[in-house]
Amino acid sequence: MNQNIAATTAKKIPVTIITGFLGAGKTTLLRNLLSRSNGRRIAIVVNEFGSLGIDGEILRSCGIEGCADDDIVELTNGCLCCTVADDFIPTMESLIDRPNPPEHIVIETSGLALPKPLLKAFSWPGIRTRMTVDGVITLVDAPAVASGRFADDPEAVALQRQEDPSLDHDNPLAEVYEDQLNAADLVVLNKTDLLDEAALALVERNIADVVSRKLVTLRAVEGRLDPAILLGIGAAAEDDLEKRPSNHDGADDHEHDDFESFVVTVPEQKSADDFLIHLAEVASKYDILRMKGFAAVTGKKMRLAVQGVGTRFRHEFDVPLSGEHREGRIVVIGQHGFDRAAIEADLMRL
């Protein structure tokens, strides 16, 4: 049989795209999914915005049986939706060209990625015949929505519209939120442990207002859902892109310069508790969207891993510190124009 015909008739490998804003719980959901995969060969492609490759490291250190290191591929060279041709397509091709290709591929996009350019890549020749988008799963950070994180400021929009009547938003966060929701086949309302029923109902109404079609929304804590719900949706999302509107439809390209990130090297800390309080204060003072990284703490042999979404932090002592290396590194992500020098100086302060 001619090779092309063989490729089209062979079963396509299903690909699930996990999207959701910075810190919504994508890596956490993936960890739970992998731990319940029952030996199914799942390859993971992780893309992060300006980071230390922390998500890949978290997944690799999950200790899940059958989850081999080379099943986790990191794309840290920019945002996946902008590097489709250079990075993404070759990565996907190399995964399926393996002698023992994965049964399912799951892509964790960066929290700032717009899913639509990525979906379009599945129409590319060479990809279209060999893979299909089984489903786009959009995670929503319920408390972040409830706090108005993605809401437009009506007064600011009105003011800007006087200058530019075509303007939709003044708020890049709202654009990313809407694009991610409108690309979805399934919405996972995550972190429901942090809100009461009334607040959750309001968030669900907000989602329904944003999404232009009817979508299933499931509530979750730590993205804990049965893999049978998450995988095997069978959406073939690449075939109905017109149903998935984007704020960037019509634009050939888009930029991520609404957001920026940098890494701060932090000294050894005297106390984990004080460090966490300090991080939350800095996050609040500069309205930082996301912080994550590692630090050494005096007297501790294990590394302190910290995760912050807004001012909410979690931590664990995760792996033994190696050698004499006692410096820590924290990734800081925020909206363009935040005061990098002041944040760095504040974080360096013990």
Ligand X SMILES: Nc1nc2c(ncn2[C@@H]2O[C@H](COP(=O)(O)OP(=O)(O)OP(=O)(O)O)[C@@H](O)[C@H]2O)c(=O)[nH]1
The residue ranges that bind ligand X (CB under 6 A) are 20, 22-28, 48, 55, 111, 190-191, 193-194, 221-222, 290, 307, 309, 314
Helical (H) or strand (E) element with 315: strand 312-320
Q: How far is the CB of 41 from ligand X (least distance, A)?
A: 22
Bridge partners of residue 334, in order along the sequence:
260
Q: How far is the CB of 9 from ligand X (least distance, A)?
A: 37
**Coil vs helix vs strand at 329:** strand
Structural Rg of the chain based on CA atoms: 21
Distance CA(232)–CA(14), nearest Å, equals: 8
Q: How far is the CB of 318 from ligand X (least distance, A)?
A: 12
Mapped to the 3 state alphabet, what secondary structure does 111-178 carry?
CCCCHHHHHHHCCCCCCCCCEEEEEEEEEEEHHHHHCCCCCCCHHHHHHHHHHCCCCCCCCHHHHHHH
**Among residues 113 and 266, whose Cβ is nearest to ligand X?**
113
**Among residues 127 and 177, whose Cβ is nearest to ligand X?**
177
Q: How many CA atoms lie within 13 A of 323 on its CB side?
A: 3
**Among residues 285 and 314, whose Cβ is nearest to ligand X?**
314
**Among residues 212 and 284, whose Cβ is nearest to ligand X?**
284
Residues 6+ apart with CB under 8 A from 194: 142, 143
**Residue type at 252 in one-letter notation:** D
Helical (H) or strand (E) element with 209: helix 197-210
Residue 272 DSSP code: H
**Among residues 57 and 344, whose Cβ is nearest to ligand X?**
57
As given in the structure block, the two tokens for residue 164 are 């530019």
| Residues counted in the chain | 350
Q: How far is the CB of 266 from ligand X (least distance, A)?
A: 18
**Among residues 13 and 282, whose Cβ is nearest to ligand X?**
282
Q: How far is the CB of 300 from ligand X (least distance, A)?
A: 19
Q: How far is the CB of 284 from ligand X (least distance, A)?
A: 17
**Residue type at 74 in one-letter notation:** E
By Cβ distance, which residue is nearest to ligand X? 111
**Among residues 305 and 321, whose Cβ is nearest to ligand X?**
305
**Coil vs helix vs strand at 8:** helix
